[in-house]
């Protein structure tokens, strides 16, 4: 389906922009009211998300977006996937794998990322689903 191909390509552009810390590319991919819930429950608005790169605080050596499952709802979509990264944030190693939920909207004919939520992928315990 054409729309799904557009969403797959969007995911690739987003991952490449994150890998490079490409603020200009991310500027075109994020909605104005973008928000992200980080792995520790913190909420970053668009300005704070981009500031991680402009300040030099976040640098990626590897950043992938894989195992993506797409669900379309008219002009909105949800992408569930796995983000793997080898990164340094403020001098600390932040390597890991995260289950990510992306919430996308088609604004003016192009997909943009409105929100995302990251959860670290770890070992399952009997109490976890």
CA distances from 52 to 18, 61, 68, 121 (A): 11, 15, 25, 22
> What percent of the chain is predicted at pLDDT more than 90?
85
* Tens of pLDDT, residues 47-85: 999 999 999 999 999 999 999 999 999 999 999 999 999
Name the pLDDT band for 45 (thresholds 50, 70, 90): very high
> What per-residue confidence (pLDDT) applies to 119?
95
Please report, in angstroms and rounded to a whole number, the separation of the first and last CA atoms in the chain.
32
Structural domains of the chain, ranges and CATH numbers in brackets: 2-120 (3.10.450.50)
Q: Rounded to an integer, what distance in angstroms lies between the CA atom of residue 14 and that of residue 89?
A: 19
* Per-chain mean pLDDT for the chain: 92
* Tens of pLDDT, residues 22-38: 999 999 999 999 999 99
Q: Where are the beta strands (DSSP E) in 26-74?
A: 30-37, 43-45, 58-73
Query: Chain centroid to CA 40: how far?
Result: 15
Name the pLDDT band for 21 (thresholds 50, 70, 90): very high
Q: Among 99, 102, 95, which Cα is nearest to 116's?
A: 102
């Amino acid at each position: 389906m054409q729309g799904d191909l557009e969403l797959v390509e969007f995911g690739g552009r987003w991952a490449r922009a994150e890998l490079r810390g490409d603020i200009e590319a991310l500027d075109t991919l994020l909605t104005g009211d973008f928000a992200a819930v980080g792995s520790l429950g913190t909420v970053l608005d668009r300005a704070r998300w981009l500031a991680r790169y402009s300040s030099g605080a976040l640098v990626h050596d590897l950043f992938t977006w894989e195992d993506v499952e797409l669900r379309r709802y008219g002009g909105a979509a949800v992408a569930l996937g796995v983000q793997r990264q080898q990164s340094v944030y403020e001098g600390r190693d932040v390597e890991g794998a995260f289950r990510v939920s992306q919430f996308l909207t088609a604004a003016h004919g192009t997909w943009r990322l409105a929100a995302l939520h990251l959860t670290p992928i770890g070992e399952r315990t009997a109490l976890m689903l």
